Structure 1
Amino acid sequence: MRAALKRHAASCRFFIALALVATCAFPSVNALADDWGCQVILCLSNPAGPEQYSECVPPIERLWRALRHGDPFPTCDFGVGSSQGTFAANTFASSGYCREDLLYWGGAEQSELLCGASGAINVDVDDQLYTRVWWDVRGQVPTITEFYGAGGARVSYNPTQSAALFLLQVEQQENGFGGRH
């Protein structure tokens, strides 16, 4: 019971912080350049995806362009108060940092393990993983959002372990389906 109340209180603090950021980040006049990092974090923290709302499309599209060009991830100074421990960071994807279902064989002779996303942005709230957004995903969807916040049913995983799990599954499939003679 105490843990549930604590999660609920943390969730309430987060959404109050989001409301404050939203009022600052999306004013009726053009946003200042300094607001971009806060807009990005607000949009990336949406469990339904970073571009669900039309107000999020311009800052998030700008983010994708910046990351593709190797620019640093934008920052947001929330100041003091309930939003300490709220931040986002990008990690470029590779076979060493990927979702298991985005790994595939590619390269010369299909012998190189590759990731089907350009990167993943981890958004932390109260120093806990809240969302992870995989961006520039191959296929039909440009992003995949994983939600880990209060009320989310998803269990956090370590993307650095996905390649080992993927290779283990490949080995098991080969052994189970006549891979060894």
Structure 2
Amino acid sequence: MCNVSIRSWASRLMRCLSLGLACFIGTSVIASRLAHADDWGCQVILCLANPGGPEQYAECVPPIEKLWRALRHGDAFPTCDFGAGGSRRTSASDTFASASYCRGDLLYWGGPEQSELLCGARGAINIEIDGELYTRVWWDAAGEDRTITEFYGGGSTEAPYDPTQSARLLMERMQREEGGEHDEAGGR
């Protein structure tokens, strides 16, 4: 009788251990997939915040190339959960580039009869750290797989500008040039 109860107990223990192990493995796989998805968003933000450009370092190339593919297909921008101790004032936002949101040197005349003002980038990603613009990355600039990184963080001498004003400033400059007025540098 003692042997039967030990075998029964051992059998139940093995079943419980097997079930527990299966649950542990299942939750580990799910948790690692969730963590991996979140890791990608955090990697993207870190790489985009690099003043030297998002693909300056080899470790950034795979996550950033994945980002470009995702954005070209219309997928949402990835997120990053900074955790309980994370910064709530750190963010990334992707904005569609157009004549109304563009870098001045990327504006050009196109469309029918070259009469439409267009932007030579697909989008701009603004990275804010501590609530301040840190970098802005223009992606697919000049119709290529090219990026332009503007750095405004600590040590930068560049002042952030408002890309919503670039078209207005271009039109004003063109009107001055057509009217024969001289610009501040003394040129036309």
TM-score under structure 1 length normalisation? 0.77
The equivalent of 2:93 in structure 1 is: 89
Which of the pair has more CA radius of gyration? 2
The equivalent of 1:12 in structure 2 is: none
The equivalent of 1:122 in structure 2 is: 126
Higher relative contact order (CA 8 A, sep 6+): 1
- TM-superposed CA distance for 1:79, in Å, is 1.6
The equivalent of 1:136 in structure 2 is: 140
The equivalent of 1:49 in structure 2 is: 53
2:165 is paired with a residue of what secondary structure? helix
Deviations 1:60-79 (A, max 9, x none): 01111111111110000002
1:110 to 79, 103, 114: 114
CA distance in 2, matches of 1:80, 1:173: 55
2:75 is paired with a residue of what secondary structure? coil
The equivalent of 2:15 in structure 1 is: none
CA distance in 1, matches of 2:131, 2:83: 15
Specify every segment of 5 or more residues in structure 1 that has no aligned partner in the other structure, as ranges.
1-30
1:90 aligned partner, one-letter code = D
1:155 is paired with a residue of what secondary structure? coil
Identity %: 69
Aligned length: 147
2:102 aligned partner, one-letter code = C
Deviations 1:12-62 (A, max 9, x none): xxxxxxxxxxxxxxxxxxx82321100000000000000000000011011
- TM-superposed CA distance for 1:140, in Å, is 7.1
1:151 correspondence with 2:158: no
The equivalent of 2:68 in structure 1 is: 64
1:50 is paired with a residue of what secondary structure? coil
Deviations 1:67-119 (A, max 9, x none): 11111100000023352211101001000000011000000000000000000
- TM-superposed CA distance for 1:124, in Å, is 0.4
- TM-superposed CA distance for 1:170, in Å, is 1.2
The list of structure 1 runs, each at least 4 consecutive aligned residues, that deviate by more than 6 angstroms after superposition, is none
1:171 correspondence with 2:175: yes
The equivalent of 1:79 in structure 2 is: 83
TM-score under structure 2 length normalisation? 0.75
1:42 aligned partner, one-letter code = L
The equivalent of 2:44 in structure 1 is: 40
* Contact 2:139–2:145 under 8 Å retained in 1: no
- TM-superposed CA distance for 1:176, in Å, is 1.6
1:124 aligned partner, one-letter code = E
